[in-house]
Amino acid sequence: MHTFLRFNQSIILIYLNRLLLVLVVFIVSLTSPVESHDKTSGFFRDTEVENIIKFYADPIFRAAGLSEEEIKIYLIKDDSLNAFVTSNKSIFLTSGLLTHSKSLNDIIGVIAHETGHLAGGHLTRVKAEIDNAELKYLFAAALGVLVGAASKNVNAANMIVRSGKAIALTELLRYSRSQESAADTAAIRYLETTKQSAKGYANFFRQLRYDQSLHGGLEQPYLSTHPLNSERLSFIEHHLAQSTYTNAQAPDKQIRDHKIIQAKLNGLFLSKKKVFEKYPEYDHSTHALYARAISNYLAGDILESISLIDRLIKKNKNYPYFYQLKGLILFKNGHSEESLPFFEKSIELAPKESLLRINLVQAQIESGNNKYLESAKTHLNMATSLEYNSLETWRLLTIVSGRLGKMGDMNLAQSELAFLKRKYKSAKQFSVQAMKKLPLGSPGWLRARDIFERTNHKIK
């Protein structure tokens, strides 16, 4: 580690955290895309939550001039209030941000701010700023050594070194604050363009300050990468005093969606005791039934969970994720074939969701009935077109293709999987095998040749 970085880690970490978070995307790409919910901290996938957030984030992305198709939303199991972006257009939100928010407007405000960082290209400039500050510090250190050697005055040398450090750190802090100010300005503009209130955004910062005061001044993770000062909050409050949309009311759907997100995550990650305290049995609202159904399922009370899900389906016949949950409950408890109609119904209602297709295919494979294999292959091919980078989809495709005796397709899927894992030698070997078995000039053969050529380039 360079001397400069050692000198003041607390400041430099503001930037290093953002640069190192690029590695998060690689880690996420290696995780299974299947609906996975673990009560420990870490990344998790949930189609329902991701899609609700994306629905409200897309207008913000469009207001920023960004393509909503290119931006991915990722979820992190962490009770802190935090959000961040990476340079490959990924936005990460913690479960704590979602469950502790007062409304979806709070979350939309945070997403608008993070979008400001993406649209402003802030992350790509961070390393240059660190290098620039480091250079100034090293120059001052070298000058201090020369002065000390020439004058034999150690105090003079130390003064020059300290001055260089102070200048570098001051410029880094100034740059950080200018980034945050620019992202705040952009967020307000996006909210105005989409005719939404910035009240939620202001509430988020007030919540951060309140939480910080409760913890004896300990800094929230969000503040470690998003320095907050009084001017930023004042800027938002000034905007609220003038905006036409300050008191804009959230649509009923937005309120319901927020309750569903919180019920889902609370049901997944809180203890059953806490879930039933938050959603008592006398509460028959949709979100309360949902939270209790999930909590009962995870606690092993399958009959009660299915009873609650059946009530939800009866009340909401066109909501895909209630069918998905019933399918998962049956599948996870050894009733693979019984789960199939519910997974199929969820896909009928949400055909563009790759994770729902993966749920179905897993149940089809687990059933042990070969009559489902052709259907499984069709669903997996569709899933790869919806979400190419899914390792689990390609893994399942190797299994299904192999069981069908389609060895060329199996080798191609193995090649795709190895390529995504950056195992280029294996990818090349499987692509060669695929080209030998697939019809010359067919789409599969052409894809195998493409992987072969790309791996040749990577290996060199």
DSSP for 262-281?
HHHHHHHHS-HHHHHHHS-T
Q: Are 294 and 326 in contact (CB under 8 A)?
A: no
Alpha-carbon gap, residue 164 to 167, rounded angstroms: 5
* Rg of the chain (C-alpha set): 26
Question: Using 50, 70 and 90 to split pLDDT, how confident is the model at 213?
Answer: low
> What contacts 262, CB < 8 A, 6 or more positions away?
98, 99, 101, 287
Q: What is the pLDDT of residues 292-351, one digit of tens each?
A: 999 999 999 999 999 999 999 999 999 999 999 999 999 999 999 999 999 999 999 999
Supply the pLDDT for residue 39: 53
Question: Using 50, 70 and 90 to split pLDDT, how confident is the model at 90?
Answer: confident
Supply the pLDDT for residue 167: 41
**36 DSSP 8-state letter:** B
Supply the pLDDT for residue 211: 66
Instruction: Give the angle 442-444-446 at the CA atoms, nearest 5°.
Output: 70
Task: Sketch the domain layout of the chain as residue ranges.
Answer: 3-242
Helix, strand, coil % in the chain, rounded to nearest 5: 75, 5, 20
pTM for the complete prediction?
0.79
Instruction: Give the angle 90-92-93 at the CA atoms, nearest 5°.
Output: 150
Question: Using 50, 70 and 90 to split pLDDT, how confident is the model at 169?
Answer: very low
Can you give the length of the chain in residues? 460
Lowest mean pLDDT of 177-181, 271-275, 289-293, 385-389, name the range: 177-181
What backbone torsions phi and psi does residue 42 show, to the nearest 5 degrees?
Answer: 145, 180
- Which is more confident, 247 or 222? 247
Supply the pLDDT for residue 231: 76
Question: Using 50, 70 and 90 to split pLDDT, how confident is the model at 359?
Answer: very high
Question: Using 50, 70 and 90 to split pLDDT, how confident is the model at 47?
Answer: very high
Supply the pLDDT for residue 123: 60
How many whole angstroms from its chain centre is CA 355?
15
- Which is more confident, 176 or 83? 83
Q: Which of 292, 260, 289, 262 is nearest to 275 (CA)?
A: 292
What backbone torsions phi and psi does residue 290 show, to the nearest 5 degrees?
Answer: -65, -50
pLDDT surpasses 90 at 288:
yes
Q: What is the pLDDT of residues 385-432, one digit of tens each?
A: 999 989 999 999 999 999 999 999 999 999 999 999 999 999 999 999
Lowest mean pLDDT of 21-25, 195-199, 351-355, name the range: 21-25
Supply the pLDDT for residue 285: 97
As a whole number, the mean pLDDT across the chain is: 81
Alpha-carbon gap, residue 432 to 418, rounded angstroms: 13
Lowest mean pLDDT of 21-25, 355-359, 429-433, 450-454, name the range: 21-25
Supply the pLDDT for residue 130: 42
Q: What is the pLDDT of residues 27-45, one digit of tens each?
A: 444 444 445 555 555 788 8
Distances (CA, A) of 257 to 53, 100, 303, 315, 319: 9, 15, 26, 16, 12
**Farthest-apart Cα atoms in the chain, separation:** 88
Question: What separation, in Å, do the N-terminal and C-terminal C-alpha atoms of the chain show?
Answer: 30
Alpha-carbon gap, residue 168 to 251, rounded angstroms: 48
